[in-house]
Amino acid sequence: MKHKRIVVTGLGVLAPNGNGVAAYWNALLNGVSGIDRITYFDPGDYPVQIAGELKDFHPETILEPTQLRKLDPFTIFALVSAQEAWDQSGLNINTLDPTRIGVSLGTGVGGIQTLEDQHTVISNRGSRRVSPHFVPKMIANIAGAHLSIRFGLQGPNQTVTSACASATDAIGIAARILQYGDADVMLCGGSEASITPLTIAGFGNMKALSKRNDPPQAASRPFDKDRDGFVLGEGAGILVLETLDHARKRSAPILAELAGYGASDDAFHVTQPSQQGPAQAMARALQDAELNPEDVDYVNAHGTSTPYNDKNETAAIRSVFGTAAERLHISSTKSMTGHLLGASGGIEAVATVKSLQEQVAPPTINYTTPDPECDLQYIPNTPREFPIRAAISNSFGFGGHNGVLLFTKWN
């Protein structure tokens, strides 16, 4: 059965190096890092003292103060990014069938800030002082629920948690919902607000995070020989997906086509990645799009800046693309944003769509010392213009979850 064609008609993003698509994209092209010393709490006793926090973020321009008090930051991020994507798409709920518009949102840890805050309350002040808003602020599905409430969407609403592949899987599942005919439009992507004492301590103690605290902007260095771990980031990336027929009927702005999605699991280890699983996901995305390896020009890599991920991702790309891997242009925007866990695939999908639109790919900053085990074209330090017909966005997560999206240029 031939799939319905799925297109992107709206983008929204909040990232450590830029709030809004224009600011984010400009920062990526100019190699601007959003990594700095943590300000949300005193990291003085922590070996890891850096993260990618949102800067100059003012959600009160979108949401009422009474709303903000009842929402965890991961929900706030999702709502603000979704509003930008919704506005760009030109959707008007008053002229559409709300039962045909749905939500698919990814998050890795949901409302962990609320969870930590309220655990402190119960520990220090007793059970009676726990907020009645605790549960509906913390549960992972609540951001998606608020998207439906805000925009009046009555179609399918699902929350996806597959670690660092969450947003990518959420976008892929949204495409499947559209192709199967259960909706005409989907708001999809991911949101994460995980810069907390517990998460920094947890990831730090398992040796996953970079300890390059000075200077912070040089800490995330994917594919570089001197990489020593990822940097935690926060934010959200939201896309509006539609069937091509629906987008054409309402003369929507078409930004790119989502032509393929592939997913797999390594079935290997809870944290250590393998080569086989990511390769399977990339191959399935190509098969879904009915494209050959030679048709792809750019890869927005998972590129976490950890020793294992970057060499395994390189090997996986080689195994799928064969001789075509030599001509692929690859970059990791995590060098500038850090790793947004379950939201990383959302903001990176936005970057991939923009690359297709503008025919330029952002760089991998902090790339100074080549690694013999990472021997492909990683677009070091400055953006690169070249013809981009098709591009993939990779996301691989703890538990062996792998998700890959394949976008093509809209003509």
Residue-level pLDDT at 137: 97
For the question of residue 146 being annotated catalytic, the response is no
Query: For the chain, where do the domains classified as CATH 3.40.47.10 start and end?
Result: 8-249, 260-408
Does 164 participate in catalysis according to the annotation? yes
| Contact criterion met (CB below 8 Å) for 214 and 53 | no
Buried b (16+ CB within 10 A) or exposed e, 43-76: beebebbbbbbbeebebeebbeeebeeebbbbbb
Out of 146, 246, 302, 401, pick the active-site residue.
Answer: 302
Residue of 164, 246, 329, 401 marked catalytic: 164
**Which of the following is catalytic: 146, 246, 329, 339?**
339
Topology at the third CATH level for domain 8-249: Peroxisomal Thiolase; Chain A, domain 1 (3.40.47)
- Class assignment of domain 260-408? alpha beta
DSSP state of 18: E
* 339 is an active site residue: yes
The span from the CA of 159 to the CA of 342, in Å, is: 11
Q: What is the pLDDT of residue 275?
A: 79
Q: Compute the half-sphere exposure of residue 58: CA atoms within 13 Å on the CB side of its CA.
A: 2
Coil, helix or strand at residue 345: helix
338-351 per-position pLDDT tens digit = 999 999 999 999 99
What is the mean pLDDT, run by run of 10 residues, along the chain of 411 residues?
87 98 98 98 97 97 93 98 98 97 98 97 97 96 98 98 98 98 98 98 96 97 98 98 98 97 89 84 98 98 96 97 97 98 98 98 98 97 98 95 98 87
Nearest CA-CA partner of 325 in 316, 333, 334 = 316
Cα of 351 vs its chain's centroid, Å: 10
